[in-house]
Amino acid sequence: MTARTSDIEKAAGVLRAGGLVALPTETVYGLGANAEDPAAVSRIFQVKGRPPSHPLIVHIGGAELLDDWVQDVPATARLLAEHFWPGPLTLVLRRGQRVPLEATGGLETVAVRVPDHPVALALLSAFGGGVTAPSANRFGQVSPTTADDVRAELGDAVDFVLDGGPCAVGVESTIVDATGETLTILRPGGVTREDLEAVLGCPLAVPATSRVRVPGQHPSHYAPRARVVLVEPEKVVAEAELAQELGHRVGVFLPAAFAGAEVKAHAVVAVPGSMAAYARGLYGFLRELDQRGCDLIVASLPVEEGLGLAIANRLRRAAGPRPTV
C-alpha cells in the first residue's frame, strides 16, 4: 500500500464532491465515482468514451453491506460472496433503490463486488458509500495495472489518482450472473471457474461467446495499438519471423515452452509459465510492445483452465476485429 492516509481522505473528499478518482484494486485500476451520484457516474462514461448502455461495477466495503445495494440475494450468491469477498468476483444481482440507472446502463440488475486491496478498502471505508468503477482506460483499450498507466491514459481527465502499486491479479474480476435459476459466468476473471465450482459443488455454465474460437464473434476490447494475431504455440516463432521479414515491426509473446529460443523480431516478451504471473503481466506486456513501436503482436492462447481461461478470453478480444473509423 503506497497511498498515505491523507491521500485516502483527499480521494474520499473528491468522491463526495462529485469528482472522479482512479483507485487501485487487486484486478486492474478503476475509474471511480460516488455510485449514488448520477452526474458523477455519467462523467465516467464521458471520460472513458464508453457507451452509456455498458453497465459498471459497484464496489462496496464488505459482504455485510450487500443488502444495502441489491434485492433478493439467492443463497448461492450469498455463499459465493461470503467465500470469495474481498476478491476478484463480481455478482450480478437485482438492483437496489440506491443504485441509479446511470450505473447499470438502464438495467434492473447491478454488478457488485468487494475489492481485495488495502487502498481500495481504506477508500471505501473513509468514503462510506459505494464506488462505481469500470477499468480506468479509454473504451476498448488495454486496462491499466499501475498508477502510471492511468496517468498516461487519462491524464487530467481524472481528478485524483490513488497509487496502490502494481495490481496483484492483473486481469479483471470474474462476473457471475446470479439473477436466474442457474448461475452463469458472464466473464472469466481472477476467481477461477474451478474454485467457484468447488464451493458451489456443481458445474457452472460459461456462455459460448466466452469460449468460442472464432475471433470475428468478439468485438475488439482490451486491445493494444498493434494488431494482435493468435497462432498455435509451435507456430509463434515462424509466424513472427515471416511477418518481420515482410516488413512488420513484430512483437512476440514467446510461449514458456519455447523460452530462450532466438527470434528474429522487433521485440520479444517471455510469457511466464505460471498462469498467475502471466495474468499479472498480461496488460503490461501489451503496453510494452506498443511503447516499443510494434505494429503486430504474434501470440498463442494458453490452456483454458484456471486463470488460463481469463487470459485466453482477453487475448481473443485483443485480437478481435477493430471498429472501422
Site residues, Mg ion (CB under 5 A): 135
Q: Are 251 and 265 in contact (CB under 8 A)?
A: yes
Query: How many whole angstroms separate alpha carbon 59 and alpha carbon 28?
Result: 13
The label of the residue with cell 477499468 reads 135
DSSP-assigned letters across all residues of 108-163 = SEEEEE----HHHHHHHHHH-S-EEE-BSSSTTBPPP-SHHHHHHHHGGGSSEE--
Nearer to ligand AMP, 111 or 318 (CB): 111
Q: Count other C-beta atoms under 10 Å from residue 188's C-beta.
A: 25
15 binds ligand AMP (CB under 6 A): no
Nearer to ligand AMP, 8 or 178 (CB): 178
Shortest Å, Cβ 186 to ligand AMP: 5
Shortest Å, Cβ 188 to ligand AMP: 11
Write phi, then psi, for 27 (nearest 5 degrees): -90, -75
Nearer to ligand AMP, 55 or 190 (CB): 55
Nearer to ligand AMP, 135 or 146 (CB): 135
What's the order of all strands across the beta sheet hosting 250-254?
227-230, 296-299, 250-254, 267-270
Among 109, 132, 141, 146, binds ligand AMP (CB under 6 A): 109
Under 8 Å CB-to-CB from 76, ≥6 apart: which residues?
178, 183, 200
Nearer to ligand AMP, 135 or 313 (CB): 135
111 binds ligand AMP (CB under 6 A): yes
DSSP bridge partners of 30: 23, 135
The interface mask with ligand AMP, positions 282-321, x = CB under 6 A, is ----------------------------------------
Out of ligand AMP, Mg ion, none, what residue 25 binds, judged by CB under 5 to 8 A for its kind, is none
Residues that bind ligand AMP (CB under 6 A): 54-55, 57, 92, 104, 107, 109-111, 134-135, 172, 175, 186-187
